[in-house]
Chains A and B, each alone.
Chain A
Amino acid sequence: MTINPNAKMEETQNGTEVYSIDPLVVKSHYEIDYIHSYAQDSEFFRALGKKKIMGSKCKKCGYTYATPRGHCMMCGAETEWYQLPNTGKVHTFTTCYFGSEEFLKETPFNLIMVEFENVDSLFMARLIGADLEDIYVGMPVVAKFRRNQKFSPTDVYFVPVAQPEKKKKR
């Protein structure tokens, strides 16, 4: 028999979290896993495990990218991979004392844009081993790599180059 006028929805002990009754405000949870492909950027992330930062270079016009892209924004041609130097300079910087939720536990952290000699574009990275008051535009920095690769751009990070001379005033 499928007809049952006495059918009842199951009663459960887990309840709804209510913030307010008027207006009625309740909590609802949302969670998701993404299957994210790095696609044409994959080589960059694989190379970090070999302690290499791979940029790209346009096969046609020769424009060089510190943050790689598969095709050139200047002429539209395909680019090829090429290895960036491990040393660069701070182009600009900040220290984040707050962040978005995912990174809040890492605050404060330093962000820098790295410029590499003879490379046309920049690379964003974390800088450790220096406080805000130590960092300045033009500061020499060197890449370091995480041993336990997470296939994230933070597998590479930068530290200040050890220097004998006094730091420049900002």
Chain B
Amino acid sequence: MKHGGRNVYMVSGGVTKFAKATPEMDFRLRVKKAFDYAMNDVNLTLNDIDGSVASYFADHFQRQLMAGIMVQDYLGLTPKPSKRVEGGGATGGLAFQTGFEEIASGRMDTCAVYGFETMSHVNTWKGNEFIALASDTNFDYPVGGFYTGYYAMMAVRHMHEFGTTVEQLAKVSVKNHKNALHNPYAQSPMNITVSDVRNSPMVSYPLTRLDVCTMSDGAAVALLASEEKAFEITDRPVLIKSIGTGTDTMRLSDRPMGKVPLLPNEKESDYSNLKYPGVHSFRAGRTAAKEAYEGAGITDPIEELDLVELHDAYTSSEIQTYEDLGLCKYGDGGKFIDEGKSEIKGKIPVNPSGGLLASGHPVGASGIMQSVFMFWQLQRTVKKHFKDDFLQVNNPKRGLIHSHAGTGTYVTATIMEAVK
């Protein structure tokens, strides 16, 4: 592998049910519940954990700086090493990769990556303001001040460039909310139709209320280990095969026009007329995938991956991300959902958990949540944890988790593999 470090495995995970508000627990207790679930599932004690990584996005939400150390303290992990990782919507994905690096480097043999967010301390519109402060406050925040607006402009350009329709966007919402009916941890399981999505209140054209994820309280924990430790802890660990991280300009307006960084399954002639990335695609998503595919030796993602949990804070970003990950060519994302390829029984299930749209998006927890759901899929233990095996993908070998910030400023792609 490119990183040259030791093999890293995920050995356990835990998630609290995501909800609009959970005033009966603060962030420390919520993480503790997810942590204990993960620890008890493999009979670990605090002595077995070498250190940790804390994942949360906005100090504004908590109005508590150094919330990471408060969790470390509450869990009983002091005085062991820990650090906080922050990167907007990709915070969870970045923290998971940081945990990977702690083990790969040989610094730790076991690492707990815990993520949380408590967004219910303020109302939705104040929450949107906090989130919008993650856009350039000189030029972007004072003009738009609303992430849904920024993504909506990207969606409009995608529609213009490729002919993507609002109905195709809506199909993502229908699929993900329906999948979540079988996920007991999900915030908004719903049986809805394309017309329900289109008839829900317009938030920012073309995105309606049901095209956009909700504010959430929640926590998720992933336990990672070195090869030797992993097989001591469980006979079914999941290998974290490779990681990839991409970045892009903070301002959407600065996205340059150039050539598409090609994935192994693509040719330059595929995109001879495409001005890239412009504001229709996520270059950081593409470069994250490229690095992760190279690390895992993947040359044809749709054939070599069995499922994907990707960052669908907006229906449009799921369509854009199919293309960034090379599941289909740029421009074919709308067709991809029309053909049902990302359905639970489709060619490559995407967001079988319900994704962020239906599971909820407590920012710092979301990327860790994806790792937990992917871990259970690859262990083939969805039935045990969900008490329902409807979402269990048939005998999956390899999956990709994808976490995403800003309008695609930080993006992570991580490949996980079943070893048994």
Residues of chain A having any CB pair with chain B under 8 Å: 20, 23, 25, 28, 30, 36, 38, 41, 65-67, 69, 73-74, 91-104, 111-113, 120-126, 132, 137, 152-154
A43–B144 alpha-carbon span in the complex (Å):
21
A sample of 18 more A-B contacts (CB under 8 A), given A65-B254, A95-B205, A153-B143, is: A20-B23, A41-B138, A67-B254, A73-B249, A73-B254, A92-B156, A92-B157, A94-B205, A98-B128, A98-B203, A99-B145, A100-B128, A100-B129, A111-B149, A111-B152, A122-B253, A124-B143, A124-B144
Q: Which residue of B has the minimal Cβ distance to A123?
A: B253
Chain A residues, Cβ within 8 Å of B310:
none
* A97 in contact with B256 (CB, 8 Å): no
- Overall SS of chain A's interface: mixed
> A132-B205, A137-B157 in contact; A96/B143 too (CB < 8 A)?
no
Q: Give the residues in chain B near A154, CB-CB below 8 Å.
A: 142-143
Q: Pick the contact of B148: A98, A104, A113 (CB < 8 A).
A: A98
Which one, B24, B130, B143, B254, contacts A111 given CB within 8 A?
Answer: B143
Inter-chain contact A100/B145, CB cutoff 8 Å: yes
> Residue A99 contacts which of B23, B125, B251, B257 (CB distance < 8 angstroms)?
B125
For this complex, 13 residue pairs linking A to B, each with C-beta atoms less than 8 Å apart, are A41-B139, A92-B156, A94-B152, A96-B204, A98-B125, A100-B126, A100-B128, A101-B125, A101-B129, A113-B252, A122-B253, A126-B143, A153-B143
In Å, the complex CA distance between A83 and B255 comes to 20
B252 and A124 contact, CB distance less than 8 A: yes
Number of contact residues on B: which range applies? 35 or more
CB distance from A23 to the nearest CB of B (A): 5
**Which residues of A are found within 8 Å of B63, using beta-carbon distances?**
28, 30
**Residues in chain A near residue B126, CB distance under 8 A:** 100-101
Q: Chain B contacts of A152 at CB under 8 A?
A: 142
Most buried by A among B140, B160, B249: B160
Contact of B138 among A103, A111, A153 (CB under 8 A): A153
B279–A92 CB distance below 8 A = yes
Is B201 an interface position by the 8 A CB rule?
yes
C-alpha gap A103/B255 in the complex (Å)? 25
- Given A73-B254, A113-B253: A95 touches B157 (CB 8 Å cut-off): no
The 7 closest A-B pairs by CB, nearest first: A100-B129, A94-B152, A100-B128, A92-B157, A122-B253, A101-B125, A99-B146
Closest approach, in angstroms, between the C-beta of A57 and any C-beta of chain B?
Answer: 14
Q: Determine the chain B residues whose CB is within 8 A of the CB of A99 once the complex forms.
A: 125, 128, 145-146, 149
Q: Which residues of A contact B160 (CB under 8 A)?
A: 92, 137
Whether B143 pairs with A101 at a CB distance below 8 angstroms is: no
Q: Which of A67, A73, A93, A100 lies in contact with B139, CB distance below 8 A?
A: A67
Could you tell me the distance between the alpha carbons of A94 and B153 in the complex, rounded to whole angstroms? 5
Kindly list chain B residues whose C-beta atoms are within 8 Å of the C-beta of A95: 202, 204-205
Verify if B103 is at the interface (C-beta below 8 Å from A).
no
Closest chain-B Cβ to A127's Cβ sits at a distance in Å of 11
Proximity bits, B24-65, A CB within 8 Å = 1, else 0: 100000000000000000000000000000000000000100
Asked if A122 contacts B204 (CB within 8 A), the reply is no
Q: Residue-by-residue, is B123-165 near A (CB-CB < 8 Å gives 1, otherwise 0)?
A: 1011011111000011110111110111011101100100000
Question: Which residue of chain B lies nearest to A155 when distances are taken between CB atoms in the complex?
Answer: B142
Q: Which of A20, A38, A69 contacts B254 (CB 8 A)?
A: A69
